[in-house]
Each structure stands twice: as structure tokens, then as C-alpha cells.
Amino acid sequence: MIQGTIIKGIAGFYYVEANQVIYECKARGKFRQDNIIPVIGDNVLITLALEENSGDKYRIAVIEEILDRKNSLIRPAVANIDQAIVMFSVTYPEIHLDLLDRFLIMIEKENIKPYIVLNKIDDGKEEDYRNIVESYTYVGYEVLCLSAKKEVNIEILKEKLKGQTTVFAGPSGVGKSTLLNTIEKGLSLETGGMSQKIKRGKHTTRHVELIPLSIGGFVLDTPGFTSLQLEGIDKDELKHYFREFIRFEGLCRFKGCSHTHEPGCMVKQALDTREILKPRYDSYITYYNQLQDIRRW
């Protein structure tokens, strides 16, 4: 068998790169029976299904086994990621901090290194996004402000991408494809821009694909989205994915404190002294209650 990596999936076919050769693959029926779906980034074992035809663009093969994943995301459906770029625009579409917080939770859950990228700084005023930069930097995230169109601070981001497998995620219209075209000259990903009628981004990326970079490493451009559910998370583990809570772990009066209502809660005390930002704590309470309702239902 040959070991390779799934770099693209379209209409039930998976394209696996192994030793600089691309194989067009179908997955064995056993995966469907076991409710396992191969995803982009999976390391797999394949066998050749047909002898190579010199006129074919791809060799034909079958996925026999999916090797253990070090991590995975549900949306976008990718695996074995080193880091994630959570990208928003400082102008249109408007930054939704709820969506940002939800994605950060999913990234923290999978132990993926996150970066927050704010694009289109050439279109906005610094005072419009300075508070977001200061707030999330205070929490402990690295925030990069750049302009893909004007190529401002692009080299800073490129240094972060070298030798890493990076997923780009965020709403439609924030400039993910434009940024990747700027980073990797000649890539020519389709770009969309804004719908003037609804002030939302136009979808241009229709599938996820692992793209090699000339500087080393891979990137995944993903379809934009406007909502994200906290799938696979229990309310009792949610607190572990708010990194500003971690230093208070084990210091509360009650073991297993949920940081919602208990007396002697150090997180709530830190909220009172403004060591923890209220908007982030409010997000935690909202998600905790949502997950509690789901459990009850």
C-alpha cells in the first residue's frame, strides 16, 4: 500500500498526493458502514485500482485506511492542522465577535494554534478595530492587521505560514482568497467581493483544498460561513477552551466550579476586578446555557 495525504475532495472522489503523484480515489464501503468520512488533510493508505494509463491525468486508486488524526475540525471539515487563521474584515462584512469566539473555542478544543487576522485595514480607520485588537491580545491571542489588496504586513503573515499546515477560515467576503493569491503569486484563486444588496461576501471557494506554498507548508482555503455550532462540546468542558480562565483552574472554592453561579469563584472575582473581560465572560455564559439546554433536551 502507498501512504499519502488527501488534498482535495469533490463529489465523492478524493485526490491523494503521495510522492509527488496525485491519485484519484474512492473510499472503501467500510468507511460508510462505520460512519467515517475521509476529510482533507487525512493521511491515508491506498492501493492502485487500475494499471496506470499514460493518457490519464490521475492514477486511479482506493483508500484502504485512514491513519490516526492528531486533530480535526468539523467546519471546515479538515484534519491534521498545525494552525488556524481566523480571518475577518475591519469594514464589510462587519466583524461578529460571537462567530470569532465560537471558532476560537473549536480551535482550542483541538489544540490548534490560532491567529486572528483582520484584513482590509486600508479601507478602515484604526479606531474602528483597535478595541478588538487590544481585547484579544489581552486575552492571549496574536492579532495580525493587514491589507491583502495593498500588501500591507503580508511578509509578517508569510513567516507564520512557513513549514506549517494552516487552515484559513472566516465569513465570505473577508478576503481569504485574495490574501492567498497575494501570498502565493500565480495561485489565481477566484475572488468575489461584496454583495451590495445584503452587505455580505459572495461565496467563491466551493470546496476545501490543500494548497502547497513555495515558501514551504500548506494552506487550506475554506468556504465562508456566517454561523457555527459548538458541536461535540459538553458544557462542563467549555471552561477549558477560554484561555483566560486557565490560570484560575483549581483555585475556586468548589471543585469542578462552572464559573457561572458558585460562591468563591475566582473567575467571577477576576471579572469584578476586570482581569477578565466582560464581553468574553458574557459569551461563555451564553454558550454554557446553550449547551446546558442541549443536554436537557
Chosen domain end from 49, 68, 87: 68
Query: Distance (Å, rounded) from C-alpha 296 to C-alpha 160?
Result: 42
Copy the grid coordinates of residue 84: 488556524
My answer on whether 161 and 277 are in the same domain is no
My answer on whether 127 and 199 are in the same domain is yes
Question: Is residue 259 a part of any domain in this protein?
Answer: yes
Chosen domain end from 221, 246, 271: 221
Query: Distance (Å, rounded) from C-alpha 208 to C-alpha 38?
Result: 13
Copy the grid coordinates of residue 17: 498526493
Question: Is residue 229 a part of any domain in this protein?
Answer: no
Query: Distance (Å, rounded) from C-alpha 255 to C-alpha 60?
Result: 56
Walk along the chain (297 residues) and give the pLDDT tens digit of each residue.
999 999 999 988 999 999 989 999 999 999 989 999 999 999 999 999 865 554 556 689 999 999 999 999 887 789 999 999 999 999 888 899 999 999 999 999 999 999 999 999 998 888 889 999 999 999 999 999 999 999 999 999 999 999 999 999 888 889 998 999 999 988 877 665 544 443 444 444 457 789 999 999 999 877 776 667 888 899 999 999 999 999 999 999 999 999 999 999 999 999 999 999 999 999 999 999 999 988 765
My answer on whether 22 and 53 are in the same domain is yes
My answer on whether 77 and 64 are in the same domain is no
My answer on whether 86 and 205 are in the same domain is yes
Residue showing cell 494552506: 219
Question: Is residue 284 a part of any domain in this protein?
Answer: yes
pLDDT for the residue numbered 201: 46
Question: Is residue 30 a part of any domain in this protein?
Answer: yes
Question: Is residue 107 a part of any domain in this protein?
Answer: yes
Query: Distance (Å, rounded) from C-alpha 227 to C-alpha 99?
Result: 6
Q: Which domain holds residue 35?
A: 2-68
Chosen domain end from 14, 43, 68: 68
Phi, psi of 15 (to 5 degrees): -105, 115
Question: Is residue 80 a part of any domain in this protein?
Answer: yes
Question: Is residue 233 a part of any domain in this protein?
Answer: no
CA dist 68 to 7, 14, 42, 80, 92, Å?
Answer: 17, 18, 8, 9, 39
- Look at phi and psi of residue 35 and say left if phi exceeds 0, alpha if psi is from -120 to 50, else beta: left
My answer on whether 156 and 139 are in the same domain is yes
Give the total number of structural domains in the chain: 3
Question: Is residue 231 a part of any domain in this protein?
Answer: no
Residue showing cell 484584513: 119
My answer on whether 272 and 160 are in the same domain is no
My answer on whether 105 and 244 are in the same domain is no
